[in-house]
């Protein structure tokens, strides 16, 4: 079949509504009788709630109701669940509103419902809460010290879990016989996701049908519905419809079931009117799940030839005050399993301690565990290359898993299905003109100018995930995806996908797959997502799974459609089914292409069912649930070139080259866009972003005034290229591309700055690499 | 947040001490105080309007004086709570007579929470210092007019 | 308590009574139902709310509706003329200058302001002019290309 759409850099079909201001985000919606919720949030990081006085707020004109955590719990509301359990893990309750104690700044203690949003916010200030402040701790390492204030009685030492992977003895032995070892202590700082659309929720309860409808900023509306209905509010699942319309970016932060949407859904029934809440940005900062926050000690051992013998990693992962939906999975199975990177490492041992602190919960943020792992691996590779006096590219090359060793079993559980790491490295080196660049670097150093070249040869495991595998690792749900393809009598097609697009362009990319498979114009294909009322149960979009898992589910359904359509066509053509060929939207008898039935004719006959194969059901639709056989393993090499001004410490990115292998590319325009955005967030972490808590666990970087997101003039243009190693186990040969940039870029940028600072003998500076930190390091180095 | 400083009043120590122990004087010298009344021995309740950067609001404060050693020393604790956060400030005031005038040393620290801290942190110290300076100037003026 | 205002939005005159503290962005979104203008932050950093007020880009979360009394406002809904996309809208579509679309209206109107002042900006000038507008999806690479596309097209048209 001729490919007409797959692989074409098509303009996006969703764009016309966005560029004309006609997108529909949750806060754009309204309903008759709509009222607004404002959350009363704790200023304290840790305090006992002595009393909450609602009277003044209730007296305020326009206020309809004020509810507290006790009101919710008294009415039977349960704790927000955690969707990933580890053996021996502590799981303290997490109510939508605090009941007896608050455990992080910004935790909700009451909600005010009022006629308009201004009144709700005014009245929220009138709710009087009597607190007894208690000591608090924000830092993961400090929380583990004896005598640190305990976040939960259930975990007096603040340890949520201790987890390990790999062979400890074998690894210790490798270090004992090592020729050289390097060790580094590094902090992967806490990030705040900051999707530009703040989270929002609007809920309606219809007493006539006993049905709830919730519009919410969600990457996975079915997951929201299941968790909220079955675990928290006790609503029958079929009586709760969850709609996630246009969503303004997620990056992980809109996966989780949060208190706010639970509160408005519950409150809509209490007040008998639809209720809307939209986060102020200052609420996003303290209530959206944060990302990263690791303190790590990592070591690498090599033999006389510079071949890696082993790796040892010890990490403290700060989980925040409560366990967010997928929190335990991120610093364990999405982190420890990635520590082999692109390298042949005979043995690895990694130990992770998950810690409660008096901070906002931490969960998946773009990359989720894999950027943290890549940062550890790629910093170690650079440090070792420097230790051995070897070129960082060549040191990596020497230790790559060679292409003939796939499938490759790592010592940390994953089996890589495919890879050609040298191919990507070579392409990137060529693009950057590496040798010439090193010469330039040398010359410029003589003039007192400090250029640095940083590598990141990353691997990612995405397209999560085989249900059996993740189930055995603690996931409380399988991670398959669904697709329902409905062919209408005129041959137009509606696809209902369990994936959710919040910027990724599914309405275009998925339609490209469908139009090709069915040989119909793309205009005849509609992609529907984000509504539990019409879409079959789906797991949603995260972990770069939409194309490999969601896209594959669509392909399965299309195959079923084509099989049935072939039966109908064979009947119409009076031919044997096996003799009928389907090509370019036409069914014909092998060898007689002039005698054909179009896909549209067959579709019509499927519904008219007049001239129809006996015993075959009318209609033409199919649904599938695709459970992937393995993760997909995108990989690549990113090279960042920077110049550091030694007088100010300022970093300027001169060039950024990314060569990624995400298998077959459905739409290069969209794929490149995903890489660009990922790189921006990765560079953001390396140079700019970071959550700061003070000693009382007060978040100081709590607005865009104090939290530095990358701006247009902080970033360079990106030079993007690909290699193509198709994924061998899914029908499209695709891998995920949504997170590669973030996974790779952080290490590339930091390695570049450290390379620039090498003449000063500076070995490591923790992120973000602000001018002040770099300047101080240079001053200290000059003084020494 | 820490505050520390000294100030020289052109008044004898007993007058400065007297003023510092007089709730009506204190009410006038702390900026933004809308009401201040005693609720026990050396314990006062106040309502004040405070603004730090973009964050302003009405705060309820409890002011407790202790370690009172006339006319030289007392400890003051101000616990304020408002819609945008809380302040818990604790400090000492020491007076020394010097040639018919009085030198005051003050020293203290404050714990601040909520939006006041998260949005106002960078403005906190300068604002607090400004409030103290303003208060001391007010006191100076009052001493002159008493 | 309410104050009468007369505000022309996308060529249409609206007379309404508003609370003096009502922000222009809420006036557009909630009073007029023009939800193409977005709110992304509380502190005038993100630029999702940028509209044109008397031809100049303003952050409508930092303008009271009463300050716009008598003004001409253009929002993203009013940029296309007679069903023809503005070259900036076209550029964002052609160059994949948007992903989630949330920052896009503000980004386009901020770029509109730039191209009025500087019809032939360099990439650096584009990046500098857009530093008051955050995009979390695109890394800005394609936004710069989109603005360049529009600049070229507008120059050809002029």
The predicted-structure confidence for C97-107, as pLDDT tens digits, reads as follows 999 999 999 99
pLDDT in tens, C26-47: 999 999 999 999 999 988 999 9
A128 membership: H or E segment, kind and range: strand A128-133
Provide, as residue numbers in chain A, all residues whose Cβ is less than 8 Å from the Cβ of B50: none
Pairwise CA distance, residues C67 & C23, whole Å? 9
Provide, as residue numbers in chain B, all residues whose Cβ is less than 8 Å from the Cβ of A131: 81, 86
A460: distance to nearest CA of chain B, Å? 36
Buried b / exposed e over A682-719, threshold 16 CB at 10 Å, is bbbbbbbbbbbbbebbbbbbbbbbbbbbbbbbbbbbbe
Provide, as residue numbers in chain B, all residues whose Cβ is less than 8 Å from the Cβ of A42: 114
B113: distance to nearest CA of chain A, Å? 5
B83, B113, B122 ranked by CB distance to A44: nearest: B113
- Identify the pLDDT of residue B121: 77
Which CATH topology does A31-134+197-248+254-287 take? Aldehyde Oxidoreductase; domain 3 (3.90.1170)
Q: At what angle do helices C87-94 and C104-117 cross, to 10 degrees?
A: 120
**Other C-beta atoms lying within 10 Å of the C-beta of residue C27:** 26
C134: distance to nearest CA of chain A, Å? 6
Q: Closest Cα to residue C77, out of C96, C45, C52?
A: C52
Which CATH topology does A291-465+630-783 take? Aldehyde Oxidoreductase; domain 4 (3.30.365)
3-state secondary structure A529-586: ECECCCCCCCCCCCCCCHHHHHHHHHHHHHHHHHHHHHHHHHHHHCCCHHHEEEECCE
In a mutagenesis test of the A interface, which of B87, B118, B124 is the best target, namely the one with the most A β-carbons within 10 Å?
A: B118
A356: distance to nearest CA of chain C, Å? 29
3-state secondary structure of A602: helix
Residue ranges, comma separated, of all CATH 3.30.365.10 domains in chain A are 291-465+630-783, 480-626
Q: Are strands A159-166 and B33-40 parallel, antiparallel or unpaired?
A: unpaired
Q: Are A544 and A736 in contact (CB under 8 A)?
A: yes
Strand partners, A457: A637
pLDDT in tens, A418-476: 999 999 999 999 999 999 999 999 999 999 999 999 999 999 999 998 998 899 889 98
pLDDT in tens, B88-98: 999 999 999 99
3-state secondary structure of A130: strand
Q: Terminal CA-to-CA distance of chain B, rounded, Å?
A: 33
A125, A131, A705 ranked by CB distance to B83: nearest: A125
- Identify the pLDDT of residue A9: 97
CB-based contacts of A614, cutoff 8 Å, min separation 6: none
- Identify the pLDDT of residue B135: 86
Interval A398-415 mean pLDDT: 96
CB proximity A652 to C under 8 Å: no
A105, A124, A282 ranked by CB distance to B119: nearest: A282
Which CATH number do you get for residue B135? 3.30.530.20
- Identify the pLDDT of residue B54: 67
Domains observed in chain C: 3-78 (3.10.20.30), 87-157 (1.10.150.120)
Q: Are A721 and A427 in contact (CB under 8 A)?
A: yes
Q: Which residue has the higher pLDDT, A509 or C83?
A: A509
Provide, as residue numbers in chain C, all residues whose Cβ is less than 8 Å from the Cβ of A219: none
Cβ-defined contact of C141 to A670 (cutoff 8 Å): no
Q: Which two tokens stand for residue A224?
A: 């929201």
A21, A673, A715 ranked by CB distance to C99: nearest: A673
pLDDT-derived band at B24 (thresholds 50, 70, 90) equals confident
**Chain A nearest-CA residue for C135:** A196
Which CATH topology does A480-626 take? Aldehyde Oxidoreductase; domain 4 (3.30.365)
Cβ-defined contact of A125 to B121 (cutoff 8 Å): no
pTM of the model: 0.95
3-state secondary structure of A767: coil
Cβ-defined contact of A43 to B114 (cutoff 8 Å): yes
B57, B81, B113 ranked by CB distance to A105: nearest: B113
- The CA-based angle B59-B61-B63, given to 5 degrees, is 160
Cβ-defined contact of C142 to A14 (cutoff 8 Å): no
A653 pLDDT above the threshold of 90 = yes
pLDDT-derived band at A3 (thresholds 50, 70, 90) equals low
- Identify the pLDDT of residue C1: 84
The mean predicted confidence, pLDDT, of chain A is 97
Q: What percent of chain A shows pLDDT beyond 90? A: 98
pLDDT in tens, C107-130: 999 999 999 999 999 999 999 999
Cβ-defined contact of A698 to B112 (cutoff 8 Å): yes
In a mutagenesis test of the B interface, which of A698, A699, A704 is the best target, namely the one with the most B β-carbons within 10 Å?
A: A698
Cβ-defined contact of B118 to A703 (cutoff 8 Å): yes
Pairwise CA distance, residues A309 & A300, whole Å? 8
CB-based contacts of A538, cutoff 8 Å, min separation 6: A220, A222, A481, A482, A497, A498, A499, A500, A529, A550
B133: distance to nearest CA of chain A, Å? 26
- Identify the pLDDT of residue A1: 45
Cβ-defined contact of C42 to A19 (cutoff 8 Å): no
A126, A698, A705 ranked by CB distance to B117: nearest: A698
CB proximity A21 to C under 8 Å: yes
Q: Check if the interface score ipTM surpasses 0.95.
A: yes
Pairwise CA distance, residues C70 & C68, whole Å? 6
A16, A17, A680 ranked by CB distance to C139: nearest: A680
Cβ-defined contact of A700 to B121 (cutoff 8 Å): yes
CB proximity A118 to C under 8 Å: yes
Cβ-defined contact of C29 to A28 (cutoff 8 Å): yes
pLDDT in tens, A534-585: 999 999 999 999 999 999 999 999 999 999 999 999 999 999 999 999 999 9
Q: Are A246 and A24 in contact (CB under 8 A)?
A: yes
3-state secondary structure A402-470: CHHHCCEECCCCCEECCCCHHHHHHHHHHHHCHHHHHHHHHHHHHCCCEEEEEEEEEECCECCCCHHHH
A136: distance to nearest CA of chain B, Å? 12
Cβ contacts from A onto C, under 8 A = 181
| Torsional class of B16: left (φ above 0), alpha (ψ -120 to 50), beta (otherwise) | alpha
CB proximity A251 to C under 8 Å: yes
Pairwise CA distance, residues A615 & A607, whole Å? 14
- Dump the DSSP string for B13-62: HHHHHHHHT-HHHHHHHSTTEEEEEEEETTEEEEEEEEEETTEEEEEEEE
Q: Which residue has the higher pLDDT, A433 or B21?
A: A433
- Identify the pLDDT of residue A719: 98
- The CA-based angle A768-A772-A778, given to 5 degrees, is 105
Provide, as residue numbers in chain B, all residues whose Cβ is less than 8 Å from the Cβ of A286: 118
Q: Closest Cα to residue A732, out of A514, A480, A451?
A: A514
Pairwise CA distance, residues A95 & A594, whole Å? 67
C150 pLDDT above the threshold of 90 = yes
pLDDT-derived band at B144 (thresholds 50, 70, 90) equals confident
C43, C100, C123 ranked by CB distance to A197: nearest: C100
User: Which residues of A make CB contacts under 8 Å with B?
Assistant: 42-45, 105, 124-126, 131, 133, 282, 285-286, 694, 696, 698-703, 705-706
Interval A619-628 mean pLDDT: 96
Q: Measured between alpha carbons, how far is residue A464 from residues A65, A734, B132 in Å?
A: 42, 13, 58
In chain B, how many domains are there?
1
Q: Which domain holds residue B89?
A: 2-145
- Identify the pLDDT of residue A337: 97
C19, C104, C143 ranked by CB distance to A712: nearest: C143
Provide, as residue numbers in chain A, all residues whose Cβ is less than 8 Å from the Cβ of C80: 20
- Identify the pLDDT of residue B146: 62
């Amino acid at each position: 079949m001729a490919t007409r759409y797959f692989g074409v850099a098509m303009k996006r079909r969703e764009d016309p509504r966005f560029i004309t201001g006609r997108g529909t985000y949750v806060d754009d919606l309204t309903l008759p009788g709509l009222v607004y919720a404002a959350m009363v949030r704790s200023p304290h990081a840790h305090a006992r709630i002595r009393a909450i006085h609602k009277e003044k707020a209730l007296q305020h004109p326009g206020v309809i109701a004020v509810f507290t955590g006790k009101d919710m719990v008294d009415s039977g509301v349960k704790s927000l669940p955690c969707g990933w359990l580890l053996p021996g893990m502590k799981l303290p309750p997490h109510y939508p509103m605090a009941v007896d104690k608050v455990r992080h700044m910004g935790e909700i203690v009451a909600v005010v419902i009022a006629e308009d949003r201004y009144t709700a916010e005014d009245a929220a200030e009138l709710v009087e809460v009597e607190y007894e402040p208690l000591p608090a701790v924000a830092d993961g390492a400090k929380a583990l010290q004896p005598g640190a204030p305990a976040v939960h009685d259930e975990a007096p030492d603040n340890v949520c879990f201790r987890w390990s992977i790999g062979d400890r003895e074998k690894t210790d032995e490798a270090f004992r016989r090592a020729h050289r070892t390097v060790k580094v202590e590094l902090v992967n700082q806490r990030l705040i996701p900051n999707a530009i659309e703040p989270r929002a929720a609007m809920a309606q309860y219809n007493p006539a049908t006993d049905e709830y409808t919730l519009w919410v900023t969600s990457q996975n509306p079915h997951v929201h519905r299941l968790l909220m209905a079955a675990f928290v509010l006790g609503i029958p699942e079929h009586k709760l419809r969850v709609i996630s319309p246009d969503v303004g970016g997620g990056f992980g932060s809109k996966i989780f079931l949060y208190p706010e949407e639970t509160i408005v859904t519950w409150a809509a029934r209490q007040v008998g009117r639809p209720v809307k809440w939209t986060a102020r940005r200052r609420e996003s900062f303290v209530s959206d799940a944060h990302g990263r926050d690791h303190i790590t000690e990592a070591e690498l051992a090599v033999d006389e030839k510079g071949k890696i013998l082993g790796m040892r990693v010890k990490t403290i992962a700060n989980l925040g005050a409560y366990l967010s939906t997928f929190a335990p999975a991120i610093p364990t199975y999405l982190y420890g399993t990635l520590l082999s990177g692109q390298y042949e490492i005979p043995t690895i041992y990694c130990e992770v301690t998950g810690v409660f602190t008096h901070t906002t919960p931490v969960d998946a943020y773009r990359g989720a565990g894999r950027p943290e792992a890549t940062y550890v691996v790629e910093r170690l590779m650079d440090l070792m290359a420097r230790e051995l006096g070897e070129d960082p590219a060549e040191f990596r090359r020497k230790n790559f898993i060679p292409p003939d060793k796939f499938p490759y079993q790592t010592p940390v559980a994953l089996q890589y299905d495919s890879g050609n790491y040298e191919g990507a490295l070579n392409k990137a080196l060529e693009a950057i003109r590496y040798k010439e660049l090193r010469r330039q670097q040398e010359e410029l150093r003589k003039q007192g100018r400090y250029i640095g070249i940083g590598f990141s040869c990353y691997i990612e495991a995405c397209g999560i995930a085989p249900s059996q595998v993740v189930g055995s690792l603690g996931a409380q749900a399988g991670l398959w995806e669904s697709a329902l393809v409905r062919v209408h009598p005129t041959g137009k097609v509606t696809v209902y996908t369990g994936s959710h697009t919040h910027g990724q362009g599914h309405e275009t990319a998925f339609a490209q797959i469908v139009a090709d498979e069915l040989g119909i114009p793309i205009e005849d294909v509609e992609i529907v997502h984000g509504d539990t009322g019409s879409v079959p149960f789906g797991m949603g979009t995260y972990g770069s799974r939409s194309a490999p898992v969601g896209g594959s589910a669509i392909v399965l359904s299309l195959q079923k459609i084509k099989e049935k359509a072939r039966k109908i066509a064979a009947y119409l053509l009076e031919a044997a089914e096996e003799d009928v060929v389907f090509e370019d939207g036409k069914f014909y008898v092998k060898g007689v292409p002039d005698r054909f039935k179009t896909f549209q004719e067959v579709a019509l006959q499927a519904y008219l069912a007049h001239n129809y194969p006996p015993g075959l059901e009318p209609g033409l639709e199919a649904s599938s649930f695709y459970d992937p056989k393995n993760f997909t393993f995108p990989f690549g090499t990113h090279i960042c070139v920077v110049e550091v001004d030694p007088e100010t410490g300022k970093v300027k990115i001169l060039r950024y080259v990314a060569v990624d292998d995400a298998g077959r590319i459905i739409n290069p325009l969209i794929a490149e866009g995903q890489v660009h955005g990922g790189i921006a967030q990765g560079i953001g972490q390396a140079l700019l972003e970071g959550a700061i808590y003070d000693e009382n666990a007060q978040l100081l970087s709590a607005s865009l005034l104090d939290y530095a997101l990358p701006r247009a003039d902080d970033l360079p243009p990106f030079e993007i290229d690909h290699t193509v190693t198709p994924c061998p186990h899914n029908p499209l040969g695709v891998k995920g591309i949504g997170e590669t940039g973030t996974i790779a870029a952080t290490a590339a940028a930091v390695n570049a700055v450290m390379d620039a600072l090498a003449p000063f003998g500076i070995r490591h500076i923790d992120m973000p690499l602000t001018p002040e930190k770099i300047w101080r390091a240079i001053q200290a180095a000059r003084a020494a | 947040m820490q505050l520390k400083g000294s100030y020289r009043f052109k008044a004898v120590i007993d007058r400065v001490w007297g003023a510092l122990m007089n709730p009506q004087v204190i009410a006038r010298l702390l900026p933004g105080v809308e009401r201040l009344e005693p609720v026990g021995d050396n314990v006062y309740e106040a309502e004040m309007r405070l603004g730090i950067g973009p964050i302003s609001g009405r705060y309820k404060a409890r002011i407790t004086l202790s370690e009172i050693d006339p006319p030289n020393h007392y400890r003051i604790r101000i616990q304020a709570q408002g819609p945008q956060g809380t302040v818990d400030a604790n400090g000492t005031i020491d007076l020394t007579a010097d040639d018919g005038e009085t030198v005051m040393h003050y020293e203290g620290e404050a714990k601040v929470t909520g939006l006041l801290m998260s949005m106002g942190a960078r403005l906190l110290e300068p604002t607090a210092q400004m409030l103290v300076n303003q208060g001391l100037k007010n006191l100076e003026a009052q001493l002159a007019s008493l | 308590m309410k104050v009468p205002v007369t505000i022309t939005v996308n060529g249409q005159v609206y007379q309404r009574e508003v609370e003096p503290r009502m922000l222009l962005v809420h006036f557009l979104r909630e009073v007029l139902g023009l939800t193409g203008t977005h709110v992304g932050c509380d502190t005038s950093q993100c630029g999702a709310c940028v509209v044109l007020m008397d031809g100049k880009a303003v952050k409508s979360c930092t303008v009271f509706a009463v300050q716009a009394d008598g003004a001409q406002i253009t929002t993203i809904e009013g940029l296309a003329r007679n069903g023809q996309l503005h070259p900036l809208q076209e550029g964002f579509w052609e160059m994949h200058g948007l992903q989630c679309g949330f920052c896009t209206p503000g980004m386009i109107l901020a770029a509109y302001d730039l191209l009025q002042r500087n019809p032939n900006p360099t990439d650096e000038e584009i990046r500098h002019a857009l530093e008051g507008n955050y995009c979390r999806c695109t890394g800005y690479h394609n936004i710069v290309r989109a603005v360049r596309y529009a600049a070229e097209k507008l120059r050809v048209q002029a």
